[in-house]
Amino acid sequence: MRILTIKLLLIFSVSCLTHLPGLFNPLLDFHGWAQTLRASISRNFYEGGMNFFKPQIDFQGNDLRHASTQFPLYSYLVAVCYKFFGVNEVWGRVLSMIFAAGSAVLLYFLICFFGQERVALISSLVFSFIPIRIYFMRTFMPESMAIFFLLAGYLFTALYLNPNIALLENGWRQKSQLEKEKFFPYGFCSAIFLALSFLLKLPYIFLSAPALFLISEKYGRKAFYKKELYLWSGLIIIFLGSWYGYTIFGLPALTGEESFFKNELDYLKEWRSLKFWTTHFLSRTPELLTTYAGLLFLVVGLKEAWQKKIRFILAWFLSAVSYLILCGKYGKVHQYAALPLSPIYAVLIALGILSLWAKVQEKSSFKMNGVSGLRACHSFNSTKVLFILLVLSMPLHAFLRIRHWYDLTDFWVLRAKVVAKELSKREDLFYIYAEDQPFYLYHLARKGFTHSRHPYGSGRFKEALKQGIKFFLVPGELKMEEKDPLFLEQFNLVYRDLDFSIYERI
């Protein structure tokens, strides 16, 4: 197993290396909003007694009810790291980095399972250089964990349906002794892993199709008579129903959540928009999911999968594209929604690389004589160099395309945290005159409320007054006393600079 171990270490190490840039940065980079939401839940777990069933957010004041969040396993594990190593945002990113590397390893095993060992190795390496993956699978977010469990679910579904295959030095091979299918452990683990993926990211439920395809391919209509498959699907439904049934009674994790999701899931409005389609397939696909050279390889790989009838890969590709379309506005607004496409795109790119390389190699087998031979040799070398440059351009494109995502903004919040610590106590509530609900309160290390509407026309501000807010923070140069003279009847200015102002309630 030495060669296999070397391959796995290579895959794991390459993945980790791509995630090192920005690893120790504060949460002031791209999508800081989404990152601070998870980070605030982790910190509240750590400070609030580590009750897994009581995830709490910072922007609902003193309300101690649990928040209606997606399954908080990621945030909870980060809080466990805080217990052992101290509170530091880097642990969230390290956890994401580990699950991202684990996902690359699982992708290798999954593609190996279908007899494509060379494709599996290249897929795993290409996967590590997908632009959108490099950044988002190392952020303080549960995406890397959700994709890890999704790939584990696919792999264990395949293992459950094929009990006579074992892992050997050169990949999966047929066992010498035939065995009957057993629901435990592979079928059970498949259901648990898929359920965890869907719990962490509910839209990933659209990606259950590849697992269902494997079941359909094995049993066809007989699947409806397999009691184990009812147990398999029942476990997934029970886990999802239990958690989301529980969260109904919690605090909304977003203000105006009902209208928010109604707007996000307005599919018909999005599908009628040309921008929806161009954003996904003319912009993000070549720039963030494949790179321009990778798109060429992907098209070739898709043709190769079709000609060789690699049905699982084709089904996975169709499922992933359908998932992105079904995400509606959510998928268009949030780039990280496209992350689940990166594994299957990496597989197709790998297929394309191997297919084109085989054609390049064919040219070298011709016998070349005289001048015509020299010309043919020169032509072959040029083709080979061009091919290598195309492959090398993919990681270069990736880092150039996303390098600005690592830029840090709003540095003033770090200074505001120091000022807030001097002016207030940990339990004092703040009202932030801005939209980014978790971002400012997280960096201030305070709880409270956020809203950008005029305070006295906002029901949220009235609720904040009832709960006893003590401070009012305004980002930027806006002066509340000029905007509304009545404001000074309740608040005094206690700090101001060019970046923010803080008022204290009288």
- The confidence score (pLDDT) of residue 462 equals 85
* Gap between the Cα atoms of 44 and 348, Å rounded: 42
- The confidence score (pLDDT) of residue 77 equals 99
Q: Which residues contact 418 (CB under 8 A, 6 or more apart)?
A: none
Query: Is residue 279 packed enough to be buried (19+ CB in 10 Å), middle (13-18) or exposed (0-12)?
Result: middle
Please state the three-class secondary structure of 423-460 as a single string.
HCCCCCEEEECCCCCCHHHHHHCCEEEECCCCHHHCHH
What is the torsional sign of CA 296, 106, 129, 341? positive
pLDDT tens for 334-367 read 999 999 999 999 999 999 999 999 998 876 655 4
Average pLDDT, integer, range 285-313: 97
- The answer to whether residue 260 scores a pLDDT higher than 50 is no
* Gap between the Cα atoms of 137 and 362, Å rounded: 38
Percent of the chain with pLDDT over 90: 75
- Residue 174 main-chain phi, psi, to 5 deg: -65, 135
Q: Which DSSP helix (H) or strand (E) runs through 390?
A: helix 370-402
- The confidence score (pLDDT) of residue 349 equals 99
pLDDT tens for 87-104 read 999 999 999 999 999 999
User: 457 and 487 in contact (C-beta within 8 Å)?
Assistant: no
pLDDT tens for 179-190 read 777 899 999 999
User: 270 and 276 in contact (C-beta within 8 Å)?
Assistant: yes
Higher pLDDT, 31 or 116: 31
Residue 489's pLDDT band (cuts 50, 70, 90): confident
* Gap between the Cα atoms of 259 and 271, Å rounded: 19
Query: Is residue 199 packed enough to be buried (19+ CB in 10 Å), middle (13-18) or exposed (0-12)?
Result: buried
- The confidence score (pLDDT) of residue 185 equals 92
Q: Characterize the bridge pairing of strands 471-475 and 171-174.
A: unpaired
- The confidence score (pLDDT) of residue 254 equals 65
* Stretch among 174-188, 294-308, 488-502 having the lowest mean pLDDT: 174-188
The candidate with the shortest Cα–Cα distance to 64, out of 82, 51, 83, 80, is 51
* Gap between the Cα atoms of 89 and 43, Å rounded: 10
* Gap between the Cα atoms of 134 and 400, Å rounded: 12
Q: Which residues contact 203 (CB under 8 A, 6 or more apart)?
A: 323, 326, 327, 330, 331, 337
Average pLDDT, integer, range 161-181: 71
- Number of C-beta neighbours around residue 419 at 10 A: 17
